[in-house]
C-alpha cells in the first residue's frame, strides 16, 4: 500500500518506488549499528533491544505486504524510521546516532550488490553447465567455423559451445572481482567526516558480513564505483549473450537449420501459422542495448560530482536495478533454451561438406611437400576457382585435376577430409577431438571447483 498524498513538487525527489527493494539491507544495517551502539555504551541495552525488535517486525510487515509506504517521506530509510517511531516511541530516535543517510544508503547498496552478484554468478554457472552438457553430447559433431559470416574451416560443435563457456568464465571472474570491491563497509563515515562517537566499525563489518571497512569517510559516502563494476560486468555479459543470441537466430532459421529451439522459446506469427520466431533470443539481443545505456547513464551522473554526497547519487539505483533484473532474467532464459535445443548434426555436416572449407588443409599439404606457403596459397586459390566453375567440391575432383595446378599434389591429397582437418589442429586450444576433450574436462573441473 502507498500513500499518494505528497505534493506534486515534492514527488520529484521521491525514490521510494524503486529503493524499497533495499529494505532487508537497510534493516540489517540498522540492527547491526544499534547493537554496536549498545556495546559501546552509546545507548542502553534496553533501547537497543527495542529498536532491533521493532525493525525485525517492520521487515516482516514489508514481506507480508502490510507496510504502509508514504511518498511524503521520500525514501525507504525515512519510511522505516517513521514506522519505528510509531511502534516503539522515543527510543526510535536513537537508531540514527552516529550515522547519516549518506553512509546508511551506501551500506545498503553494498549489501544489495554483494547479494545480487552471488545470484548472478550462480546464473552464469547454470548457463555454463548447459553449454558443457551440449558440448559433451556433440563431441563428434562437425560444424562450419565462420569468419566474416563466411564458411572458413570445419570445427567441432563442442569447441564452438566451449568458446561461450570461456566468455562466461571471464564474466564470472569480473563479477567476483566486483564482489571483492563491493565488500567494503562505509557505515561509520556519517555524512562525510566520520562520526563523533566511539564506534566499533570493525565489529559492525563482521556482523554484516563485510571483509573490511572503508578508509576515507569522504570517499566512502560518494563512491559508486562498485555499482559501475557490476554495470560493466553486466554489459560485457549481455554482449556475450547477444553474440550467442545472434547465432541462435541464424542457426534456427530455415536457411541454416542447424538447431531447433524448443517451442517455449519461440513464438508464432499473428498472420503466418507456420512461423517459429526466435523471439527470446531476439529480445536478449535487444535488451543488451538497454544494459549498455544504464552503464553510460551512471558514468554520466558521476563524472561531474564534487566531493562528497550530492543528490545526483539518487540516480544510481533505477538503472542499476533494471540491469540486475534484465541480466538475471536473460541468463535465466538462456540456460534452459540452450539445454533444450535440438542440434541438427546432419545439416551442419552438409554445410561443412558443401563449402571449400578444406582449402587451408590443401595448402598445408603442399607446404609439407616443400612448397612455400604463399605459393601454396595461390595454387589452392586457383584450384578453388576451377572447382567452383565446374560445380564440383574438392572431393569430386580427380587427382589429374589437382595436378593441373601443382605437380606436388599426389595420391595423399585424396585423404584430406573434414575429420583429418580436425585431427590436424592438435595444438593446445585447437579443435582436434583430443584437445576439445581436454578443454571439456577442464570446464567440468572449473564448475566442480565453483560448486556446480
- What the block records as the C-alpha cell of 121 is 554468478
Q: Which of 106, 125, 228, 109 is nearest to 177 (CA)?
A: 228
Q: Which of 51, 52, 105 is nearest to 76 (CA)?
A: 105
Catalytic positions: 148, 269
Count structural domains, the chain. 3
Secondary structure of 44-61 in HEC code, one letter for each residue: CHHHHHHHHHHHHHHHHH
Q: Could you give the 3-state DSSP secondary structure of residue 190? A: coil
Helices (H), 138-186: 157-182
Q: Is residue 376 part of a domain?
A: yes
Indicate if 106 and 245 belong to the same structural domain: yes
Residue 184's φ and ψ, nearest 5 degrees, are -130, 125
Averaged pLDDT score across all residues of the chain: 95
Specify the pLDDT at position 8. Answer: 64
Indicate if 250 and 165 belong to the same structural domain: yes
Indicate if 65 and 127 belong to the same structural domain: no
Q: Is residue 208 part of a domain?
A: no
Give the domain-ending residue among 97, 126, 143.
97
Residue 239's CB: how many other CB atoms inside 10 A?
Answer: 15
Q: Is the dihedral of CA 178, 227, 295, 71 positive or negative?
A: positive
Specify the pLDDT at position 437. Answer: 98
Indicate if 37 and 120 belong to the same structural domain: no
Specify the pLDDT at position 154. Answer: 97
Helices (H), 201-278: 201-208, 217-222, 225-251
Q: What residues in the chain have per-residue pLDDT under 50? A: 1, 4, 6
Give the domain-ending residue among 323, 350, 377.
350
Domain span holding position 64: 2-97
Strand (E) positions, 243-318? Answer: 259-260
Indicate if 179 and 311 belong to the same structural domain: yes
Place of cell 569430386: 396
Specify the pLDDT at position 393. Answer: 92
* CATH at residue 93: 1.10.275.10
Indicate if 241 and 364 belong to the same structural domain: no
Indicate if 129 and 266 belong to the same structural domain: yes
Q: Would you say the pTM of this structure is higher than 0.85?
A: yes
Specify the pLDDT at position 271. Answer: 75
For 399, residues 6+ apart whose C-beta sits below 8 A from its C-beta are 409, 410, 411, 413, 414
Specify the pLDDT at position 330. Answer: 98
Indicate if 315 and 404 belong to the same structural domain: no
* CATH at residue 227: 1.20.200.10
Q: Is the peptide bond before 128 cis (omega within 30 degrees of 0)?
A: no
Amino acid at each position: 500500500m502507498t500513500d499518494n498524498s505528497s505534493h506534486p513538487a515534492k514527488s520529484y525527489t521521491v525514490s521510494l518506488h524503486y529503493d524499497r527493494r533495499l529494505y532487508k539491507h537497510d534493516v540489517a544495517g540498522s540492527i547491526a549499528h544499534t547493537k554496536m551502539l549498545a556495546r559501546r555504551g552509546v545507548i542502553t541495552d534496553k533501547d537497543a533491544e527495542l529498536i532491533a525488535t521493532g525493525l525485525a517486525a517492520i521487515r516482516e510487515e514489508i514481506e507480508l505486504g502490510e507496510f504502509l509506504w508514504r511518498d511524503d517521506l521520500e525514501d525507504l530509510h525515512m519510511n522505516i524510521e517513521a514506522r519505528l517511531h510509531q511502534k516503539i516511541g522515543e527510543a526510535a530516535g536513537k537508531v540514527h546516532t552516529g550515522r547519516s543517510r549518506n553512509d546508511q544508503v551506501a551500506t545498503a547498496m553494498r549489501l544489495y550488490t554483494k547479494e545480487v552478484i552471488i545470484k548472478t554468478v550462480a546464473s552464469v554457472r547454470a548457463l555454463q553447465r548447459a553449454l558443457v552438457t551440449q558440448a559433451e553430447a556433440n563431441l563428434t559433431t562437425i560444424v562450419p567455423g565462420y569468419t566474416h559470416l563466411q564458411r572458413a574451416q570445419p570445427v567441432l560443435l563442442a569447441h564452438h559451445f566451449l568458446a561461450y563457456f570461456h566468455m562466461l568464465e571471464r564474466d564470472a571472474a569480473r563479477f567476483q572481482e566486483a564482489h571483492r570491491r563491493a565488500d567494503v563497509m562505509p557505515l561509520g563515515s556519517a555524512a562525510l567526516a566520520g562520526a563523533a562517537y566511539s564506534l566499533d566499525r570493525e565489529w559492525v563489518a563482521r556482523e554484516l558480513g563485510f571483509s573490511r571497512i572503508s578508509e576515507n569517510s569522504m570517499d566512502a559516502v560518494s563512491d559508486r564505483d562498485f555499482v559501475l563494476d557490476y554495470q560493466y560486468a553486466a554489459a560485457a555479459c549481455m554482449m556475450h549473450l547477444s553474440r550467442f543470441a545472434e547465432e541462435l537466430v541464424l542457426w534456427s532459421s530455415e536457411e541454416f537449420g542447424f538447431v531447433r529451439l524448443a517451442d517455449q522459446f519461440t513464438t508464432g506469427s499473428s498472420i503466418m501459422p507456420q512461423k517459429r520466431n526466435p523471439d527470446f533470443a531476439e529480445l536478449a539481443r535487444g535488451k543488451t542495448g538497454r544494459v549498455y545505456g544504464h552503464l553510460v547513464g551512471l558514468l554520466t551522473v558521476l563524472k561531474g560530482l564534487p566531493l562528497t554526497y550530492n543528490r545526483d547519487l539518487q540516480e544510481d539505483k533505477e538503472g542499476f536495478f533494471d540491469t540486475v533484473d534484465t541480466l538475471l532474467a536473460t541468463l535465466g532464459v538462456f540456460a534452459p533454451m540452450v539445454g533444450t535445443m535440438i542440434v541438427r548434426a546432419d545439416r551442419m555436416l552438409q554445410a561443412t561438406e558443401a563449402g571449400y572449407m578444406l582449402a587451408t588443409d590443401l595448402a598445408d599439404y603442399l607446404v609439407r611437400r616443400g612448397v612455400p606457403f604463399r605459393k601454396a596459397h595461390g595454387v589452392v586459390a586457383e584450384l578453388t576457382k576451377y572447382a567452383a566453375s565446374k560445380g564440383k567440391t574438392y572431393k569430386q575432383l580427380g587427382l589429374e585435376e589437382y595436378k593441373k595446378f601443382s605437380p606436388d599434389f599426389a595420391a595423399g591429397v585424396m585423404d584430406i577430409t573434414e575429420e583429418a582437418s580436425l585431427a590436424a589442429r592438435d595444438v593446445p586450444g585447437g579443435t582436434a577431438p583430443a584437445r576439445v576433450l581436454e578443454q571439456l574436462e577442464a570446464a567440468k573441473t572449473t564448475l566442480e571447483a565453483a560448486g556446480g
